C-alpha cells in the first residue's frame, strides 16, 4: 500500500483514496461481524462497543447479509475509524496526506 501511494503521490487522487478507505473500513467491519458468529456473541460484543441493550439485541438478531450489515450506522458506531487506527490499520488517505507533494 505504501509503495502504491508513493508511486502516485504526485497525482491528485485524494477523492479516489477516500472512496477506497470507505470500502476498506466496511470490509473490516464485515470481517468483525463474521467473527461474531452467534447472535449471543454479537449481542455481547455490540454492548461492549457501547451500543444500548435494546438496539444491540435487535441488531444482533438481524438476518441481513454480512455486507449490508457492515454498512449500517450501528456497525459504524460500534467499530469507529479511530478504533481501527489505534489497532494499527493504515488507511490510504492518511498516508497520502503525509507524502503528497503539492
Backbone Cα Rg of the chain: 16
- pTM of the prediction? 0.82
CA 72/CA 46 separation, integer angstroms: 13
Stronger pLDDT, 66 or 11, i.e. the higher one:
66
CA 2/CA 95 separation, integer angstroms: 7
| pLDDT for the residue numbered 102 | 60
| pLDDT for the residue numbered 22 | 92
Kindly tell me if the per-residue pLDDT of 36 is higher than 90.
yes
CA 6/CA 8 separation, integer angstroms: 6
CA 43 to chain centre: 19
| pLDDT for the residue numbered 101 | 62
**What is the domain partition of the chain in residue ranges?**
1-6+36-102
**Collapsed DSSP state (helix, strand, coil) of residue 87:** coil
Cα dihedral: 47, 55, 73, 75 (round 10): 30
Q: For the segment 48-84, what is each residue's pLDDT rounded down to a tens digit?
A: 999 999 999 999 999 999 999 999 999 999 999 899 9
Contact 8, 100 (CB under 8 A): no
Amino acid at each position: 500500500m505504501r509503495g502504491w501511494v508513493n508511486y502516485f503521490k504526485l497525482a491528485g487522487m485524494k477523492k479516489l483514496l477516500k472512496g477506497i478507505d470507505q470500502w476498506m473500513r466496511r470490509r473490516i467491519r464485515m470481517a468483525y461481524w463474521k467473527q461474531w458468529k452467534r447472535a449471543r456473541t454479537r449481542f455481547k460484543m455490540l454492548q461492549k462497543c457501547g451500543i444500548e441493550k435494546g438496539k444491540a439485541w435487535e441488531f444482533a438478531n438481524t438476518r441481513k447479509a454480512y455486507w449490508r450489515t457492515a454498512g449500517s450506522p450501528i456497525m459504524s458506531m460500534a467499530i469507529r475509524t479511530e478504533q481501527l487506527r489505534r489497532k494499527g490499520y493504515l488507511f490510504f488517505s492518511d498516508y497520502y496526506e503525509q507524502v503528497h507533494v503539492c
